[in-house]
Structure 1
Amino acid sequence: MSNVSAVPAAESAEAIAHFASSLRFETDCADVHAALAGANANAPGFVLLDVRGPALFARGHVPGAVNLPHGKIIASKLAAWPPETLFVTYCAGPHCNGATRGAIRLAQLGRPVKVMIGGVTGWLDEGFELAGDTAA
C-alpha cells in the first residue's frame, strides 16, 4: 500500500461537493484567457487584479490586468467598481501566496473574489503572452 492509497478516496457525493465548491473560489489561466480574448473581451465579467508590486507588473503581466498590490487593497481603491464586481487575483505563481492574500482583503471588504490558480507561471505554461517590458 502506498501513501496515495493509504487514505481512502472520498465517496462520490462528497467528492462532487468538494470539487464543485473549489470552483467558487478559483479559476484557471485558460478560462481567464478565453474570457479576455472572447467575444466579450471588453466586458469579461470580472476585473483581473495583479497583486504583485509595480516593478514586477511592469516587467510582465497578464494583458488587461490592473495592478493593485495585495497590501494596498482598501475600500477607496475599489470605489470605481460597483460592489457586485467580481475580482480575480493573481500573483507570480504557485510559489506565491499574494493572490490568496489579495483575495482575503477583497473578501474582508465584501467583494466577490476568485483566485487565478497558477499566476504568471501558469499563464506562461499555457503558452500565453504577457504585456509589459518582458525583456527586463
Structure 2
Amino acid sequence: MTRTLAFPAAVPEAAAKYFGAEIAFEVDPDDLVQDLEAGRTDGYVVVETRAPEAFAHARIPGAINLPYRDLTPETTAHLDRALVYVCYCESTVCNAATKGALKLAELGFKVKRLSGGITAWIAAGYPVEGDGESDKATGIRCAC
C-alpha cells in the first residue's frame, strides 16, 4: 500500500462538508488581493493581529491593527458587527491571526483568517505599505 493511501480518502459527502467548512474560515491571498485591487471591499475589513510595531513595519494596504492581546469588549465597541474581519499575522508558524479571530468570534464578530499571513502575501508579490526598509520582507516576524 502507498503512504498516500494508507488512510482511505473520505467519502465525497464528508469531503465536501469538510472543505466547505475550511473555506468558510479562511481566504487565500489571491482572492483577497483581487478584491482589494478591484475596490471590492464592502462587507469585510482586513485586520493585522500582531503588535503595532509589526503593523508599522509592513502591512497589507488598507488593513487596520487590532493586536489580539488587546481585544476586549471595550476595545472593539467601535467595530461594525455586520462586517467580516479577515485576520492575518506573520505566517503559518505564527498563530496571532488564529488568536485574534478566536477573540473576535468570542466577542460576537464574524471572522476569517488569511491563509499564510503577510509572509505568503509578500512571497506572492502583493503590495505592502509601512515604514520598513524598501524590502518589506526584511524584519517580518511573529511579533505577537
- TM-score, normalised relative to structure 2: 0.86
Which deviates the most, 1-10 or 88-97?
1-10
* Runs of 4 or more consecutive aligned structure 1 residues displaced over 6 Å after TM superposition: none
1:63·1:130 contact (CA, 8 Å) conserved in 2? Answer: yes
Partner-residue secondary structure (3-state), 2:86: strand
- Counterpart secondary structure, 1:115: strand
AA aligned to 1:52 is R
Q: CA deviation at 1:23?
A: 1.0
Match of 1:91? 89
Kindly provide the amino acid, as one letter, of the partner of residue 8 in structure 2: P
Q: Which residue of 1 aligns with 2:19?
A: 19
- Cα deviation, 1:56-109, whole Å, max 9, x if unaligned, reads 111101111101111111122222222222101000011101100001100110
SS for the counterpart of 2:5 is helix
The aligned counterpart of 1:124 is 122
Question: Could you say what the CA RMSD is over the residues aligned between the two structures, in angstroms?
Answer: 1.4
Q: For the residues of structure 1 that align with 2:12 and 2:49, how far apart are their CA atoms?
A: 36
Moved more, 1-10 or 53-62: 1-10
- CA contact 1:90–1:116 (8 Å) conserved in 2: yes
Query: For 1:20 and 1:118, how far apart are their aligned partners in 2?
Result: 19
Q: Which runs of 5+ in 2 are unaligned?
A: 134-138, 140-144
SS in 2 for 1:58: helix
Q: Which amino acid aligns with 2:68?
A: H
**Quick one: distance in 2 between partners of 1:39 and 1:65?**
14
TM-score normalised according to structure 1 size = 0.91
Q: Greater helix percent: which structure?
A: 1
2:91 and 2:119 in contact (8 A); partners too: yes
Find the counterpart in structure 2 of residue 102 from structure 1: 100
Partners of 1:44 and 1:62 in 2: CA distance: 16
1:10-55 Cα offsets, whole Å, 9 max, x none, are 1111111110111111111111112211143xx4321111001111
Which amino acid in structure 2 is aligned with residue 83 of structure 1?
A: R
Q: Give the alignment partner of residue 65 of structure 2, picking from 52, 64, 67.
A: 67
Query: Which letter does structure 1 place at the counterpart of 2:52?
Result: P
Unaligned 5+ runs, structure 1: none
Distance 2:121 2:37 in 1: 14
Instruction: Decide whether aligned partners of structure 1 residues 83 and 49 sit closer, same or farther in structure 2, where only a CA change above 3 A counts.
Output: same
Q: 1:78 aligned to 69, 76, 79, which one?
A: 76
